[in-house]
Amino acid sequence: MIKNIKEKLVGATGSLSGAASILGSWNVCHNVCLGIIAVLGLIGITITGMPLLFLTKVAIPFWIIAVILFVIILYFYFKKHCISKTLIFINSGLITAGTPFEPLQTYQLYFWIVGGALVIMGILFFIIGRRKHGN
């Protein structure tokens, strides 16, 4: 029984860590870029700037693809009922929090709050569902 509790605690901690990493996504990207610069420096290639800066140019197309895939998920949820609502809440929260449009950047804090609330609701639905089914 204690082993089971420890496993659940480790799993919950990992999930919490993954959710918290969203808040520091810029930091992660920045550190990955610095790591690439360091590795290239070790082999004698000097680079100035951020080597993954090009990803900012494809943020909007990736976001649009995410929205299209989310619409497909919604179709399957309402027509076939084969997608969990936990998945829908978490995905909608991530899409909302990651809105990349420049004119909306003044409202980014509100997008993060609404998106974070949706992700938290999805996590709560997951926890409640696991407890209800005894897993």
Residue 73 and residue 134 in one domain = yes
Instruction: Decide: 85 and 63 in contact? Cβ < 8 Å.
Output: no
- Mean pLDDT computed over 23-48: 70
The residues near 28 (Cβ < 8 Å, ≥ 6 apart) are 21
Residue 32 and residue 82 in one domain = no
Q: Which carries the bigger pLDDT value, residue 25 or residue 93?
A: 93
Number of domains in the chain: 2
Using pLDDT thresholds of 50, 70 and 90, give the confidence band for residue 79: confident
Which range among 49-63, 77-91, 116-130 shows the weakest confidence by mean pLDDT? 49-63
The model carries a pTM of 0.60
Residue 65 and residue 20 in one domain = no
Residue 46 and residue 60 in one domain = no
* Full domain range(s) for residue 18: 1-51
Burial 27-66, CB ≥16 within 10 A → b, else e:
eeeeeebeeebeeeeeeeeeeeebeeeeeeeeeeeeeeee
Q: What is the pLDDT of residues 114-129, one digit of tens each?
A: 998 998 999 998 898 8
Residue 24 and residue 86 in one domain = no
Q: Which of 92, 74, 28, 79 is nearest to 55 (CA)?
A: 28
